[in-house]
Amino acid sequence: MVARGRAVVILEFEVRPSRSPMPDVERRSILAAPVFGQAFTDHMITLRWDDERGWHDGRLEEYQNISLPPTASVFHYGQEVFEGMKAYRQPDGSVALFRPERNAARFNASAQRLAMPELPVETFVQAVELLVRQERHWVPDGAGTSLYLRPFMIATQPTLGFTLPSRSYLFCVVASPASAYFSTRTGPPALTVWLSEEYARAAPGGTGAAKAGGNYAAAFLAQRQAVEQGCDQVVWLDAAEHTWVEEMGGMNLCFVQQPAGGGPATLMTPALTGTLLPGVTRDSLLQLAARLGLGCEEGRLSVSQWRKHCEEGLITEVFACGTAAVIAPVGHVRGAGGGWTIGDGSPGPVTLRLRDELLGIQYGRTTDELRWMRKVC
């Protein structure tokens, strides 16, 4: 098949529906109050790659355990990449994905960094759509809920050799009904964050821009430290100087800055220096902010500037953003050298406005002028 002068790869997926899907009653009870990452749907997608056949054996099959030899490369050298995306119930009952081709492109950038095979964008989207169509009755319709999709790829070659990357891989997509990652009955809570000055998430030349499991594995210790300090999430600083603010947990950070001379606020987010994850939500919010008449800047901010600018009223709001979290306001910052409050410590008007705009598009409440939504079924 050819589209816009370019060959489009369409792979066949064999469809093998589950013989024992979850009974309706049980599924409905999960959908009534879904908890992020706890329950999984009846099916999954699997697709294999090896260096002789390329991509092959695509299937939609029953959600089940994966059987691998204990020597599969992923268990030893951590060759794994993943994505996070969501399918949203629309007002007319249909289901739509948000910018799925952006996730496909980032998946390939991650795969490329970890010396793994790339998956044609069309095949990635085709696989995700096939699963969403099969699991359409698993898409919840409560406020702030969605079907969270987790495409991932692992290295499966049974080898302990560390000369060349694995010669075989498994691509998989699983789905999980979800509510917002951080939520209260009255809206998003303001988080308290811990500045990690001891550990670093990513160094120049490393894998920080890839959505690779190893980055998250290396983050647990600092995240646990944050929780021990009474905080919700860790904030990462740059690895070289431990000075420049990079990310929060597994999400990007945004700062609402007020210009000294008055005028519209600016949405500032740390620039993609190669050590940060290029978030799809981050990119979407920069575009929405510009359309709302805010200034937009991809810059850099030190911890001391962050504190000083909050004290001077130049930074009035801070929030984290990502697919799972959507927009999570940050109210308080703590670190070894003390802490401070952002604004009055509660979610600010720019944060809430941007959140409303984004959710409005995702849930089909506002016109999708940027054509970000892709109707699936």
Residues of this chain that bind ligand COI (CB under 6 A): 84, 250, 322-324
168 versus 252: smaller Cβ distance to ligand COI: 252
324 versus 350: smaller Cβ distance to ligand COI: 324
180 versus 195: smaller Cβ distance to ligand COI: 180
Nearest-angstrom CA–CA distance, 150 and 273: 26
**Is the CA virtual torsion 210, 212, 214, 219 positive or negative?**
positive
Strands 13-15 and 54-62: parallel
Q: What is the DSSP string of 165-219?
A: --SEEEEEEEEEEE--SS-BTTBPPPEEEEEESS--S--TTSSTTS-BHHHHHTT
Nearest-angstrom CA–CA distance, 297 and 295: 7
Minimum separation from the CB atom of position 224 to ligand COI (A): 14
Minimum separation from the CB atom of position 84 to ligand COI (A): 2
46 versus 323: smaller Cβ distance to ligand COI: 323
Minimum separation from the CB atom of position 323 to ligand COI (A): 4
Residue pair 208/215 in contact (Cβ under 8 Å)? The answer is yes
Nearest-angstrom CA–CA distance, 177 and 158: 33
Closest residue to ligand COI, Cβ-based? 84
Structure tokens at 234: 């860790």
Minimum separation from the CB atom of position 232 to ligand COI (A): 12
84 versus 343: smaller Cβ distance to ligand COI: 84
Structure tokens at 343: 């604004």
Residue 198 burial (CB count, 10 A): 10
Structure tokens at 300: 């850099």
86 versus 309: smaller Cβ distance to ligand COI: 86
Minimum separation from the CB atom of position 234 to ligand COI (A): 11
123 versus 323: smaller Cβ distance to ligand COI: 323
Helices (H), the chain: 24-32, 73-77, 100-113, 121-134, 213-217, 220-228, 280-291, 303-311, 349-362
Minimum separation from the CB atom of position 83 to ligand COI (A): 7
Minimum separation from the CB atom of position 240 to ligand COI (A): 24
